[in-house]
Structure 1
């Protein structure tokens, strides 16, 4: 119990910093590095660029979450941080360029690619057939299923308990699509931002909240009084980087890099750096990490 309380304050500081700094990060995304981009982008727009054109520009633009600790958030110093950001930094390093991070909402992850706002989306992006019609996904680097968190005093342990109740979801997420398709008896209360969805749960505006199990487990650990009564719902899903539809040069580069990263167990190291301090014994890297772009534990 004491360890949980000890971790709560840093999490709250990060959450507060995320809300306070989203605007600043957005402004930086619009203005930061403008001279570099303008001098080199005449040959191709952001989103359409090949690895060589990105190298020429000296900068890669990556879409991330700014309010989804421990995967993508703004830390106490106002800087992008998290599991996806460590991966983004490595992509930039291997290209020999700097990373410019742009905050995105869950529902806008495909749009920012189609509208040439980013080269890559790394915002904890779950691969689905519907999304694959709009973007090109690289091979996966993480795997998840859905989870449901609720107040411990009224814990939801089975989906049947949600009938007629209000479930909080974030727009554009796998959870929203899953419950709309499979459980029309559940009333969905939708939010654009993860921070708003979690706040709604804390305020009692809904009976439970569903998103990736990795996220609700991390959040519940930091918030006494809440429990993940449903730890795995639906099929195993995979998270991958996404590029604009048709950008095969950048897609191939990402897939080749994943093979090289797998040889050094990069994502296990990323997990230990960013996720292990949050999950503790609640999960292991082998439960969640995909190395080399291939899930060797899959039976499919």
Structure 2
């Protein structure tokens, strides 16, 4: 059955009118003066990181890191790259940290650091509404696409035999997944729910047909044993305590986060 998304979609619609509704994020720290903070991010990931109509890089994660830069007294230098390349860029010291709704997993913790989680969600399945598909069981024999290197790829690989998926292919993000759906090149795109729901704002011909049984906890990734890890984590703690992170959430989702969510509650580092 279709996932009930009216409340969140309405919130996202409100977020798009943030300026008119007085929801614009106002930074609270002084301008950064130190050495640039090199930040790798994947720019096809609404509402976390994407280019607006002016070509500017914007999004929840972008606001988050810009505020961390202010807190640390360092300007931010965003470097766009494919999602799968973020981890090798950290390992080769080409970037200081990576942010792109990156899920904290035990496999990743073996070779990189993570801050505490700042957002929790699940994955979902996006299809064309006219397809008539209503749940994961309808994907038997269907072509499914994911973004390479993500936990969505891991879920599809682990469940391909159980649900009898047809061919699995890679998309260059959710926007590319939507283009492939529209062209009939794939039957479904699997990704994190907030990104899929954001697509519904401008595409009433799309449908999210399932919330998958997975828990995605987003954190900022850094090189293993990075001297910045504790500082970035402490900056997130301050943002939770003073309400800055909640304001960023309201800007992009049009509603305040739950009071006990990872966006408001200070958590230990994994």
> Does the 8 Å contact 2:97/2:222 carry over to 1?
yes
User: What do residues 67-87 of structure 1 show as CA deviations (whole Å, max 9, x unaligned)?
Assistant: 212110112222210000000
Q: 1:63 to 1:288 in 2, by over 3 A?
A: farther
User: What do residues 112-158 of structure 1 show as CA deviations (whole Å, max 9, x unaligned)?
Assistant: 10111111101111111111122111100011111111111124332
User: What do residues 47-76 of structure 1 show as CA deviations (whole Å, max 9, x unaligned)?
Assistant: xxxxxxxx9952101112212121101122
**What is aligned with 1:177?**
154
Number of equivalenced pairs: 239
1:217 maps onto 2:159 in alignment: no
Q: Which of 134, 138, 143 is 2:115 aligned to? A: 138
Secondary structure, in 3 states, of the residue corresponding to 1:87?
helix
Q: 1:228 to 1:141 in 2, by over 3 A?
A: same
User: 1-side partners of 2:63 and 2:262: how far apart?
Assistant: 14
Q: 1:210 to 1:155 in 2, by over 3 A?
A: farther
Tell me how large the CA RMSD over aligned residues is. Answer: 2.5
More helix by share: 1
User: 1-side partners of 2:252 and 2:263: how far apart?
Assistant: 15
1:203 maps onto 2:203 in alignment: no
1:234 maps onto 2:206 in alignment: no
**What is aligned with 1:18?**
none
Secondary structure, in 3 states, of the residue corresponding to 2:118?
strand
Q: 1:215 to 1:250 in 2, by over 3 A?
A: same
Give 1:204 deviation, angstroms: 1.5
Identify unmatched segments of 5+ residues in structure 1. Answer: 11-54, 296-300
User: 1-side partners of 2:265 and 2:233: how far apart?
Assistant: 8
User: 2-side partners of 1:234 and 1:193: how far apart?
Assistant: 21
Higher RCO (CA < 8 A, seq sep 6+): 2
1:285 maps onto 2:243 in alignment: no
Q: 1:252 to 1:223 in 2, by over 3 A?
A: same
User: 1-side partners of 2:132 and 2:118: how far apart?
Assistant: 31
What TM-score results when the alignment is normalised by the length of structure 2?
0.81
User: 2-side partners of 1:148 and 1:105: how far apart?
Assistant: 21
What TM-score results when the alignment is normalised by the length of structure 1?
0.73
Secondary structure, in 3 states, of the residue corresponding to 2:220?
strand
> Does the 8 Å contact 1:149/1:220 carry over to 2?
no
Q: Which of 78, 81, 90 is 2:55 aligned to? A: 78
More strand by share: 1
User: What do residues 260-292 of structure 1 show as CA deviations (whole Å, max 9, x unaligned)?
Assistant: 11111222200111232xxx7xxx622975224
> Does the 8 Å contact 1:110/1:134 carry over to 2?
no
Tell me which stretches of 4 or more aligned residues in structure 1 moved more than 4 Å: none
Alignment of 1:83-122 (within 5 A): 83-122=60-99
> Does the 8 Å contact 1:149/1:156 carry over to 2?
no
